[in-house]
Structure 1
Amino acid sequence: MSTQEERIRQKKGDVEENALRIDTDRAEQIIDALNTDLANSYVLYHQLKKHHWNVEGAEFLELHRFLEEAYETVEEGADEIAERAQALGGVPVAGPSAQEERATVTFEGEDVYDVRLSLRNDLEIYGDIIESLRDHIELSDNLGDFATSEMLREILVEVEEDAHHIEHYLEDDTLVLEEATH
């Protein structure tokens, strides 16, 4: 029989006092928002990684590289979010099933789609994450946690930049000529 239960230092969902001097009631609200952002980040991370693996076509190399940079950026932001949740006295949502359950965005599934549809699906998640980050910046500001709101602002800048790049990839103008159909 496992003795893991006896060794638990902090149960998920519990919020402990923190050295940042943000009371547990306010910290609990912020941690809840951060865990949503963390879960959403990992849904996007896995979808971008999937598209990085499956991208094909004339723009393969450029998109392959962009998607790699994009999922790395998402992962860096997720790490910052998780560490902040922990610093506030919380437990970051960590397991894949818990993240999926917690996320407010949806992974497109295991099927492989054409590049344009894949990028449109990514852009949809980016948009939802952008809105969520803005809401959580406001929440953090209203609760007096200016460091969390500043961190989320920095992440928001990166997320918006990558969303803007995807928007450009989806424009009709391209150097690749489609074969004329007769």
Structure 2
Amino acid sequence: MPTHRTLIEQHDVEHLVELLQVRLSALNDLHLTLKHVHWNVVGPTFIGVHQMIDPQVETVRGFADVLAERIATLGGAPAGTPSVIERDRTWDDYSLGRDTVDAHLAALDIVYDGVIASHRAAIDQAGKIDPVSEDILIGQTGDLEQFQWFVRAHLEDPQGRIAR
């Protein structure tokens, strides 16, 4: 990796770039999964979910762009190719095709669980190296948690339980 002028030690920069690259891959995967849900959800409440998902797609795509630019700012080379997304994936690929609102939202809830948990773990690591990257991840995590709340609101009963 070429050196870049930062006040962060080079070995820490390299670790941070690797950490952010994995988050970038997860966000690229998430925005593609969200669009897949948007295209394939069916049922009586289809339109509400269809319209709820598109802003999430655009926001998550923006998050990916922010992380890619942070990687470049640190002197790294952000990678957004399908092979890199698959290389960095530590979860099962989204398995639903055309299916009901409840089926997609239950599966998407699980996806959000994983993305949010791994973003939180990255916050902890980034915070030891770079408060700027940590701040970016914190802001993104807050929005991801809100998106999951939107998804869960469709699935919960009045007591907050989700049948799985």
User: What is the TM-score with the length of structure 1 in the denominator?
Assistant: 0.81
Alignment equivalent of 1:167, drawn from 141, 145, 152: 152
Identity between Structure 1 and Structure 2 (%) = 27
Q: Determine the structure 2 residue equivalent to 1:25.
A: 11
What one-letter code is carried by the residue in structure 2 that aligns with 1:133?
H
Q: Determine the structure 1 residue equivalent to 2:162.
A: none
Q: Determine the structure 2 residue equivalent to 1:178.
A: none
What one-letter code is carried by the residue in structure 2 that aligns with 1:79?
D
Cα distance in 1 for residues equivalent to 2:149 and 2:66 = 22
Q: Which has the higher helix share?
A: 2
What one-letter code is carried by the residue in structure 1 that aligns with 2:124?
E
TM-fit CA distance, 1:114: 2.3
Question: Which residues of structure 1 form unaligned runs of 5+?
Answer: 1-14, 174-182
Instruction: Please say if 1:40 is aligned against 2:26.
Output: yes
Can you list the C-alpha shifts for 1:121-149, whole angstroms capped at 9, x where unaligned? 11111111111111111111112x00000
Cα distance in 2 for residues equivalent to 1:104 and 1:126 = 14
Cα distance in 2 for residues equivalent to 1:157 and 1:127 = 13
- Cα pair 1:43 1:106 within 8 Å, conserved: no
For these two proteins, the number of residue pairs brought into alignment is 158
TM-fit CA distance, 1:110: 6.3
Q: Which runs of 4+ in 1 moved over 4 A?
A: none
- The residue matched to 2:103 in structure 1 has which SS? helix
TM-fit CA distance, 1:98: 1.4
Can you list the C-alpha shifts for 1:62-99, whole angstroms capped at 9, x where unaligned? 11111101111111111111111111111112111211
Which range moved further: 118-127 or 105-114?
105-114
Question: Which residues of structure 2 form unaligned runs of 5+?
Answer: 159-164
Alignment equivalent of 1:148, drawn from 110, 115, 133: 133
Alignment equivalent of 1:104, drawn from 90, 96, 99: 90
Aligned-CA RMSD value? 1.5
Cα distance in 2 for residues equivalent to 1:93 and 1:61 = 34
Kindly report which structure 2 residues correspond to 1:31-70, keeping only aligned pairs within 5 A, or say none: 31-70=17-56
Cα distance in 1 for residues equivalent to 2:91 and 2:77 = 21
Structure exhibiting the larger radius of gyration computed from Cα positions? 1
Cα distance in 2 for residues equivalent to 1:60 and 1:18 = 48
Can you list the C-alpha shifts for 1:85-118, whole angstroms capped at 9, x where unaligned? 1111111121112111212233213632322121
- Cα pair 1:39 1:99 within 8 Å, conserved: yes
Kindly report which structure 2 residues correspond to 1:76-87, keeping only aligned pairs within 5 A, or say none: 76-87=62-73
Cα distance in 1 for residues equivalent to 2:4 and 2:116 = 28
